Structure 1
């Protein structure tokens, strides 16, 4: 038996499935005479006929029935194997972050160009211990976070003691986030300000409490306010800002599109003073794969652009 062209086998199997040259040619997007020639070439190579040509269509011979049934199974198996190999080559990349629209949106924007190449995801961790555990167990390529600048040294020491590395990326002032419709917002000032004596200030600064790292200096930045309350989580905080007329929120850099979408303003407490530091944690000694380095570099570039947005 001569060696046969694999394309001829594919063509014959499609004729077997369809029971018709016309339907098979339409399914394969080839001309009917070319398909007929392809089947004839395969029969010649095999040394026995696969089909009987009748007015009712292409009927498989007993030999053809046996051969084509096996060929159909083989082609299906090869297709599944090829798909499995393609999926294995599509690398799965996972990141973790503190609960923050900042990092989630940055990662979504930065990884848009990679979505056909990698399966990329980000998990927000409400417990900082889970954030670090993700990196230690290599369930996450990197964990993104922010903290008060006065906490940076303590975090670095904590990471070193657990086989982790902390990488600082940038800093920003502390901001007070307020609804642009709020009576305490003062857009007429240059730069815009807030009437602090009338302000109920919401704070969320206890994320690292479970590992004994606490902010010390952030309250020294605050002018006198009417009262202080604690946040309830991202969605709840946004809802409260929209519905409590004198509420403002002490915050790190908030994603610029989030501000625009919810008609919020970010007023720096002291533009000359950096109060928040941003960075990420990786496992010490772990050499990232080239594709992981590419994606991480894109995320960091997108982050630096966002930090300069306002």
Structure 2
């Protein structure tokens, strides 16, 4: 079968099909345009057919490929973790804006999943000491692999530390307090109609272990546990749903945080809310 014949017959979105050709068969868009009639090798064709079948069954492209780009980094992903989204880069941008480029800082990522947020911060702020928490041992193993591959072992802030457990309770007794705590926690309501479209991603990362009608059960607990662990003038920043910004700001205010505000994503939706601990 030729490249063009497979492209027309594969039954998936053209953009996704072009990505499969590039990643699995090594055929760039330019090569396809120059030689659409070129035959695909049997091994490549078999790989493309398997990948196309997975896409037709509704599996996300990131899981089929085994990776997703996030903040310029190619992260390994799988069905044990949420697929990193571009919207979450707003949270990374906030973190970087509030960390000195070369200064030391204690940073914590709660619900780290693939390690996307923690690793992006560690990559851009080499002196920061970064830690991540997740309730899934499989997710943490994936985060470790991503960190080993994407971060230099000799970075000034050391290799990220990963902790298995439930929010702040996962931290060891000597963990200390933090200059910045970030999280993309579960925030989808238990009866949200969008869950069907997300059925291939882990429910634990979407609705959490404390499913609720408003999707805020884990965020309430996270805010209550994390705020007391901020250093003076340290920040807590959380991603949340498109309609949850006002509720999350109220939660931040109730625990005594100041400078509470929300940031918008590329679509203009309030996607991240943050608050700052009082000064000394």
If the TM-score is normalised by the length of the shorter chain, which range does it land in? under 0.3
Query: RCO (CA 8 Å, sep 6+): is it higher in 1 or 2?
Result: 1
TM-score, length-scaled by structure 2: 0.25
More helix by share: 1
